[in-house]
Amino acid sequence: SQAGGLALDGRRLVVCLAVSRDEARTLADKRDAKPTDRRNLYLAREGLIRAGTAAAEGLGSADLAKRERFEQLKRQKLRRVTVFVSRTRLCVHNIPKSADDKKLRSIFLCAGGPGARITECRIMRDMQVVNSRGLGQSKGFGFVEFVEHEHALTALRSTNNNPAIFGPAKRLIVEFSLEDRVKLNAKEARLLKSRQKQAAVKGNAKGQKGMSAVAQESRGSEPHKTGAREPGRAKVGAGGAVGKGGGGTGRWAGFQTRVEEQRQEEGDGPRRKLLPLRSHSGPKIRVEPGPYAILWGRVGTLCCASEKMEATFAVNGNACLPFPPKRAEKRAHQADHEERRFGDLVKRYKQRIFGSEQAAMRPMASKWFQE
């Protein structure tokens, strides 16, 4: 046709290459998937440790309370729609006071895996309390930012709650950092404005050449500043701490998400359900056991409420299901109330249709033609 392509009776034909069924299935699997969660909320559960789980074994009550407090603060911040979970920046809590930026960088550089690069690694300090070296006192938390999300995820799973890094009594609390989009945009605007001012001050050609030379020099030394993985440096950074438990994830790593569940296929493909934040908080302990747990004698020692509860059995055929007394009384009261309501309703309808009982017993008056 004149517009290009094949046409038949004025209709343009769409021709595709025929493939086998196996090749079509392979092509469908390789189709690009697009993320459905722009705020990366599924990453907020990464590394979550609740009391009563296998990952919480060996943790003290103070550490569990601290983790629960951080979880509540995270929930409050995520209520704002401008706050999202970063895919590459980690927030590290419970850092010993003696640790410095260099040691923290070496630990996470080793835990990130082969080819990991760190663009930011710093421990937050109180500059009002300065030591002899001019460093402020450590606040016990810091931030580590990777270039790739895969390296950040690997480092989180390798260091979170790992007893081999600083000992069982001082386990790191690692989670993905929360960022505010409004603050990030304001920061970028300030940076752009400062660069424009610097360019306006150095308006001559010589100054511009000097700036370009400095920029090229800084770009040339960027891998060294951003913490690119070096062959000798990675071995020194391992130190035996992460090397023992950081190569993989153990039962202490906490909750782990699966990224493939957070995506949906393009077109008419199936949509997978996102993993939202958990709807309940607190330890993973059943306070009140189910009826079958009492019936079969599988009530654990943690079910303290069952010791005070006297089971009431409701017999249905051959099955006996226990219910608490309060629940049984409530159900009986509801049944009686519904029965009384139904009886009153029937009585009112009878009065409307047939009249009252006194009117029914009253003798009928004779007509005028019967007298």
Domain end among 265, 293, 320: 265
Mean pLDDT within 353-368: 62
For 285-290, which contacts have Cβ atoms below 8 Å and span 24 or more sequence positions? 285/51, 285/52, 288/324
188 with 52, same domain?
A: yes
168 with 198, same domain?
A: yes
11 with 75, same domain?
A: no
pLDDT, one tens digit per residue, over 290-308 is: 555 554 454 444 444 444 4
71 with 214, same domain?
A: yes
| pLDDT at residue 111, rounded to an integer | 92
261 with 309, same domain?
A: no
Lookup: tokens for 221: 């030394």
pLDDT, one tens digit per residue, over 42-91 is: 888 888 888 888 888 888 888 889 999 999 999 999 999 999 999 999 99
Residues forming a β-bridge with 322:
313
Please tell me which residue, 161 or 284, carries the higher pLDDT value.
161
> In terms of residue numbers, what domain contains 158?
41-265
What sign results for the dihedral spanned by CA atoms 205, 207, 211, 214?
positive
CA-angle at 218, arms to 215 and 220, nearest 5°: 110
The CA distance from 175 to 300, in Å, is: 32
Does residue 274 lie in a domain region?
no
CA distances from 23 to 28, 29, 33 (A): 9, 10, 18
Does residue 133 lie in a domain region?
yes
192 with 306, same domain?
A: no
Does residue 363 lie in a domain region?
no
Does residue 147 lie in a domain region?
yes
pLDDT, one tens digit per residue, over 12-43 is: 888 888 889 998 888 887 765 555 678 888 88
26 with 68, same domain?
A: no
Percentage of the chain surpassing pLDDT 70?
59
Residue 321 has pLDDT above 90, yes or no: no
Residue 142 has pLDDT above 90, yes or no: yes
pLDDT band at 340 (very low <50, low <70, confident <90, very high): confident
Percentage of the chain surpassing pLDDT 90?
27
For 311-320, which contacts have Cβ atoms below 8 Å and span 24 or more sequence positions? 320/295
60 with 176, same domain?
A: yes
Does residue 362 lie in a domain region?
no
| pLDDT at residue 301, rounded to an integer | 41
How many structural domains compose the chain? Answer: 3
Residue 229 has pLDDT above 50, yes or no: no
Cα end-to-end span (Å), the chain: 105
Outline where DSSP puts E strands in 131-210: 136-146, 173-180
128 with 199, same domain?
A: yes
The enclosing domain of 152 has a CATH number of: 3.30.70.330
The CA distance from 112 to 151, in Å, is: 5
Please tell me which residue, 149 or 353, carries the higher pLDDT value.
149
| pLDDT at residue 265, rounded to an integer | 41
Give the number of other Cβ atoms within 10 Å of residue 84's Cβ.
21
At residue 84, φ and ψ (nearest 5 deg) are -135, 165
Does residue 162 lie in a domain region?
yes
Q: What is the three-class DSSP state of 258?
A: coil
pLDDT, one tens digit per residue, over 169-216 is: 889 999 999 999 999 999 999 999 999 988 888 775 555 555 555 555
Q: Which of 254, 228, 208, 231 is nearest to 58 (CA)?
A: 254
At residue 61, φ and ψ (nearest 5 deg) are -65, -30
pLDDT band at 230 (very low <50, low <70, confident <90, very high): very low
238 with 114, same domain?
A: yes
| pLDDT at residue 324, rounded to an integer | 52
167 with 87, same domain?
A: yes
Please tell me which residue, 188 or 314, carries the higher pLDDT value.
188
248 with 301, same domain?
A: no
Does residue 370 lie in a domain region?
no
Does residue 212 lie in a domain region?
yes
